[in-house]
Amino acid sequence: MTSESNTSESADKQPIPRLGFFDNLKASYTKIRTSVKDEGKNIRKSDPLTIWMVPGLAVALVFASASGGIVRLLVAFLAYFSACIYVAARIGIVRSMNSRQVNLVWHIIMCSFIAGILFAFLFLSLLN
């Protein structure tokens, strides 16, 4: 049923025109801003704990970086786990996406992971 509805929805829609690189970025940014503005209110109302947990622990991590030892490590782990909980709380959204959107989300997650690893290696090499 879902595959039939996905194909009928795509057949009803007008094809999206090809844009240049910067025009594509601008149009995508505008669409994302509109979507976040429309749906963000619902998410903030339904789950305020995880919404404020990530930025709260990020600020705590900034202050903990001035201290040393176990306090910094503890706050860093809490910030990391809060980000994991934030993502896990929203992963159910994937069930309502079509396969192309799921593939895009997977690639964004993988790119973020690889970018984080590369940043960590760069940071550690600069420390040495």
Q: b/e for 61-80, b at 16 or more Cβ within 10 A?
A: beebeeeeeeeeeebeebbe
- Whether residue 104 is predicted with pLDDT greater than 60 in this model: the reply is yes
| pLDDT bucket at 4, cuts 50 / 70 / 90 | very low
Separation of alpha carbons 41 and 51, rounded Å: 11
The more confident residue out of 51 and 4 is: 51
* Amino acid letter, 17: P
- Whether residue 110 is predicted with pLDDT greater than 70 in this model: the reply is yes
Does the pTM exceed 0.95? Answer: no
Q: What is the DSSP string of 94-118?
A: GGGS-HHHHHHHHHHHHHHHHHHHH
